[in-house]
Amino acid sequence: MAGLERVSGPAVEPLSLDEAKLHLRLDGGEEDALVAALIKAARELAERHTGRALVTQGFRLWLDGWPCGRRSVDLPRPPMASVTAVTVYDADDSPSPVEPAAWLADRIGTPGRLVLRAGVAAPVPGRVVNGIAIDYEAGHGPAGTDVPEPIRRGMALLLGHLFESREAGGLGQRPLPLGVEALWAPYRLVRL
């Protein structure tokens, strides 16, 4: 079993407050707090819908043990930028780092993978639950403008919908606003 933990969130949002206000045709700062909250909500929905991390953020994947018969572990929330640490815990909960020379970070695949190098045995944790922790960074880059433009435009459309329909029923009960699905569809991860 595996669990994914967000260790550090994005430093910026894919849409700036100024970009959002321009899209909404807002002047002044009376609605800034609401617009900022809606930008965050739109990003979180885009990440959930596409299965991706948009702006660089830190994650920790917890594994009970190394997958049987496999040399690699898929790392959720692509695109993966880097693997920063692999830690194995013994029965007394003491951490032991796995040397970087023992593994390779595959940033090309989607999702990215942590691959054991040839001749390296799979780590065997001593504790039964969450015995292996893989720390990594994922996202299109550290700036909001690193996010593909169709995702950002879909967020802007969703932001406009949320701003205008703030008293309406929950978004989860209705489809995404017109155009958002079409803009995000090429980036949505599909499991085979």
Which of 158, 167, 184 minimizes the C-alpha distance to 39? Answer: 158
Q: Tens digits of per-residue pLDDT, 35-73?
A: 999 999 999 999 999 999 999 999 999 999 999 999 999
- C-alpha torsion 64→65→66→67, nearest 10: -70
Q: What is the mean pLDDT of the chain?
A: 92
d(CA 105, CA 72): 10
Asked if 141 contacts 82 with a C-beta cutoff of 8 angstroms, the reply is no
> What is the per-residue pLDDT for 2?
78
Q: Tens digits of per-residue pLDDT, 122-155?
A: 999 999 999 999 999 999 999 999 999 999 999 9
Q: What is the pTM of this model?
A: 0.89
d(CA 23, CA 183): 16
Helices (H) and strands (E) counted in the chain, each on its own, are: 4, 8
Q: Tens digits of per-residue pLDDT, 100-121?
A: 999 999 999 999 999 999 999 9
Residue 94 has pLDDT above 90, yes or no: yes
Amino acid present at 76: P
Tell me the CATH number of domain 10-54+143-187, given options 1.10.3720.10, 1.10.3230.30, 2.40.50.140, 1.10.238.10: 1.10.3230.30
d(CA 116, CA 114): 7
Write down the domain spans for the chain.
10-54+143-187, 57-138
